[in-house]
Chains A and B, each alone.
Chain A
Amino acid sequence: DTGVSQDPRHKITKRGQNVTFRCDPISEHNRLYWYRQTLGQGPEFLTYFQNEAQLEKSRLLSDRFSAERPKGSFSTLEIQRTEQGDSAMYLCASSFGRGDEKLFFGSGTQLSVL
């Protein structure tokens, strides 16, 4: 399978705990995106990378959120001191870039904060 893969598929955590999600994009894609989606809403932009450089981060994102893409391949999204409002589906997507911006989404990580 050469699509975008995300791990884990589901995460249940207690409020105040830290969580980390992983995304492996399509190998030849140099852009990687993180989105968040709640029921009945469209995907909400969080951040994106061009290779290893984080080029934009949503102003909606608090300092509790951080993302990395250390070698321009896989990426991690960490949420510190989780809150109940962080419960959502976290979607990763990748694109080829260089004018081809079709987004290929992974299956997402469903986070539930109790």
Chain B
Amino acid sequence: GQQVMQIPQYQHVQEGEDFTTYCNSSTTLSNIQWYKQRPGGHPVFLIQLVKSGEVKKQKRLTFQFGEAKKNSSLHITATQTTDVGTYFCAGRTRANAGKSTFGDGTTLTVKP
């Protein structure tokens, strides 16, 4: 079945440093979504990417979807303590359009 893998599992940064998490799917995706889960909270939608090679920005966050639509990345510039949490990617395929398969996330901690 479809697998979605994320690296790294954990990332510790000093406030102000950049952060990147990578997501790889075993199958071609129709779209990919990114979610953030704060400690003790539930996943909150950040963004959806649909097109091959798509790049979207939200303030300090930059999301990319690979040309082959099998990988994606999230980059945060100049991290802040409010960025702390676990970032998940979730992919959908055309064959299973109703099902999002989540990676196991990258947990970001930021040292002030």
Contacts and interface: CB of A to CB of B under 8 A. Distances in A.
Interface of A: 31, 33, 35, 40-45, 48, 50, 55-56, 59, 91, 101-108
Interface residues of B, number: 24
17 contacts: A42-B4, A42-B6, A42-B105, A45-B102, A56-B96, A56-B98, A59-B1, A101-B31, A101-B48, A101-B92, A102-B45, A103-B33, A103-B90, A104-B45, A106-B42, A107-B42, A108-B42
A104 B42 CA distance: 9
Contacts of A108: 42
Interface of B: 1, 4, 6, 31, 33, 35, 41-45, 48, 88, 90, 92, 96, 98-105
The prevalent SS among residues of B at the interface is strand
A35 B43 CA distance: 11
Contacts of B88: 42-43
B35 to A, nearest CB: 8
Contact of A42 (B42, B96, B103): B103
B24 to A, nearest CB: 14
Given A56-B96, A101-B31, A101-B92, A43 B45 contact: no
A40 B9 CA distance: 9
Interface centre among B42, B45, B92, B100 (most CB of A within 10 A): B42
A50 to B, nearest CB: 7
Nearest to A49: B98
A106 B44 CA distance: 10
Nearest to B2: A45
Nearest to B45: A102
